Structure 1
Amino acid sequence: MIVSRTEVVIGRILLIVVLIATVLPLISMISAALQPADVNPTGLVWPSDPQWGNFVTAFETGHVWTLMVSSSLIVLGVVPASLIIATLAGYALGAMKVKGSRWILIFFVLGLTIPFEALIIPLYYQAQGLGTLNTQLAVVFPLLGLYMPFSVFWMRAHFVNVPTELSEAARVDGASVWQEFRSIQLPLAMPALSALAILLFLWTWNQFLLPVVLIADPLQRTVAGALTFFQGQYSLSIPLLNAGALIIITPAIIVFLIFQRQFIRALLQGAVKG
């Protein structure tokens, strides 16, 4: 496929526009966070005397470290389990083509259409019945179920594109289903798994509604709830609010920057070439 010079130029211009639209708000937040705490920033102006201490104040006031530990526990409970279940289910639906797999897939896709907010009250009573209310498990279990339709659909889309010749060659060589999955399918699925892990991490790390409803103790919720601690004394301090927001989103940015190659590779992976 030949791409004209005009298309290349237009593509680069669009990328630059998107880059500016993405980076500019972040720069604006940084400049606002470095203003004096009692100043209301107006516009994108770099302060003559940056107040780096705002980040320390925001970190301490928002109990960010305690909430980061709580968020990490929830992430460790959701992401690994979701990856394992989604990979096995995706392999069964995409590569093994078990009986009734089409209807099972439709069932999972229907799960994507359920409004998240409509499940809050039933989830509350379910957590109460299970005895997990006001604990991190009250968030972990619902997130496993809520993320599963997309996760299974994502992994199935990968396994469907794996050439069947690879499986047939493995079977001819005497490999069992588990050996084929472990030695052939799983290594090929690493880009898709990495991308899914990033998405699940970001969604779980930034989860706000479920922890607020299902966990009474604010210090056991996710880090996204740290800004609630600014109510009162610091509720009108825009610099401190921006500093707190930057601290909260920094781990997500770092994770994405580290694994961006795997994420992009998975998005661009249309087929597996032998």
Structure 2
Amino acid sequence: MRAAGPGRWAVLAALVVLAAVMVFPFLLVAVNAVKSPADYSSHGPLSLPAEIYLQGIVDFWNRVDFGEKLWNSFVISASVALLAVVLSVLNAYALGIGRVRGRLWILVLFLVGNTLPQEALAYPLYYLAKEVGLYDTRLSMVIVFTVIQAAFGTYLLSAVLGQFPKEILEAASMDGAGRFRALWQIVVPISRPTLSVLVIFFFIWTWNEFFLPLIFLISNETQTVPVALGVLQGEKYMDATMSSASALLGIVPAVAFFLIFQRTLTRGVTVGAVK
């Protein structure tokens, strides 16, 4: 077994430093979230807590009804992740395998739609939501973000399915499989690692969305976690420890979701790299 050279040790040291820099803000937030206001005022944000103080987390949870905000974020993010992947698969199957006319221009259209800033979409989407009665509803955010995420998913999957082995589809056609049967029984199972990666990304991206939900979800019953945190950060009754508690509660669900599906994400990226 060959010993590690100086170059490898340098890379390892750089990665350790980078990991420490990335983890430090999260640890700082976690430490201050379990610190009492008096302890924070006496010793500052960099000291360890004299005792574990959970009242700040409890007060914030009850004050904003955080369980409801978690449920709203989960419903919207999970719905968008699943619907966007299904829509992306259908679009990419037609563009990548079906080779519809004007395929290149359609992909350019999807790419442009995905790169448009949300500020440019805010007013027309707000007007449409008002007209159809979907303003201040979770369904409005599910529809909007499904379309936005599916634009990226279509562009990505079209390139993947464009390289799909034609021999497999021809053999399925000879066995009597129609287009939809070939899609759901052949294309989707083979592409499952890539689709699982998209589901994870779509969920986390939607969970972290702030700008459009801030405009569309104005009532307390429909707000998501980022909106609730953003609105309350400027309130006078939020002390430093409660602000840390709110930030910790907002970060933990997304981090937990990522850690739970980390193996799926790694497997999907590795399979995609090998292919």
Taking structure 1 as the reference length, what is the TM-score of the superposition?
A: 0.88
Residue 5 (structure 1) shift = 4.3
For structure 2, which runs of at least 5 residues remain unmatched after alignment? none
Deviations 1:8-58 (A, max 9, x none): 434433332332122111111111111113534634321121212222122
Aligned match for 2:87, one of 78, 85, 88: 85
Partner of 2:251: 249
Whole-Å separation in 2 of the counterparts to 1:102 and 1:145:
19
- Asked if the contact 2:32/2:241 (under 8 Å) is kept, the reply is yes
Whole-Å separation in 2 of the counterparts to 1:148 and 1:106:
14
SS at match of 1:120: helix
Whole-Å separation in 2 of the counterparts to 1:165 and 1:6:
48
Q: Which amino acid aligns with 1:31?
A: V
CA RMSD of aligned residues (A): 2.2
Structure 1's 21 and 163: CA in aligned 2 closer, same or farther, altered over 3 A? farther
Partner of 1:104: 106
SS at match of 2:221: helix
The answer to whether residue 147 in structure 2 is matched with residue 145 in structure 1 is yes
Taking structure 2 as the reference length, what is the TM-score of the superposition?
A: 0.88
Whole-Å separation in 2 of the counterparts to 1:132 and 1:155:
30
Partner of 2:69: 67
Residue 220 (structure 1) shift = 0.9
Q: Which amino acid aligns with 2:20?
A: I
Whole-Å separation in 2 of the counterparts to 1:177 and 1:77:
26
Q: Map residues 109-258 of structure 1 onto 2, 5 A cutoff.
A: 109-227=111-229, 228-229=231-232, 231-235=234-238, 237-258=239-260
Partner of 1:15: 15
Q: Which moved more, 1:154-163 or 1:141-150?
A: 154-163
What's the % identity of the aligned pairs?
31
Residue 242 (structure 1) shift = 1.0
Partner of 1:51: 53
- Asked if the contact 2:81/2:203 (under 8 Å) is kept, the reply is yes
Q: Which moved more, 1:30-39 or 1:263-272?
A: 263-272
Q: Which moved more, 1:107-116 or 1:152-161?
A: 152-161
Q: Which amino acid aligns with 2:34?
A: L
SS at match of 1:234: coil
Residue 204 (structure 1) shift = 1.7
- Asked if the contact 1:207/1:224 (under 8 Å) is kept, the reply is yes
Deviations 1:109-146 (A, max 9, x none): 11122111111111111111111112222222221222
Partner of 2:24: 24
Q: Which amino acid aligns with 1:253?
A: V
- Asked if the contact 2:96/2:162 (under 8 Å) is kept, the reply is yes
Residue 233 (structure 1) shift = 4.8
Residue 229 (structure 1) shift = 3.7
SS at match of 1:175: coil
Structure 1's 262 and 80: CA in aligned 2 closer, same or farther, altered over 3 A? same
Structure 1's 6 and 88: CA in aligned 2 closer, same or farther, altered over 3 A? farther
Q: Which amino acid aligns with 1:36?
A: S
Residue 148 (structure 1) shift = 2.2
- Asked if the contact 1:33/1:54 (under 8 Å) is kept, the reply is yes
- Asked if the contact 1:162/1:272 (under 8 Å) is kept, the reply is no
Q: Which amino acid aligns with 1:92?
A: A
- Asked if the contact 1:162/1:271 (under 8 Å) is kept, the reply is no
- Asked if the contact 2:85/2:150 (under 8 Å) is kept, the reply is no
Displaced runs of 4 or more, over 4 A: 4-7
Deviations 1:84-123 (A, max 9, x none): 1111111222223222212211111111221111111111
Structure 1's 211 and 218: CA in aligned 2 closer, same or farther, altered over 3 A? farther
Deviations 1:144-184 (A, max 9, x none): 22222112112223323433332233234333222222222
- Asked if the contact 2:118/2:212 (under 8 Å) is kept, the reply is no
- Asked if the contact 1:133/1:215 (under 8 Å) is kept, the reply is yes
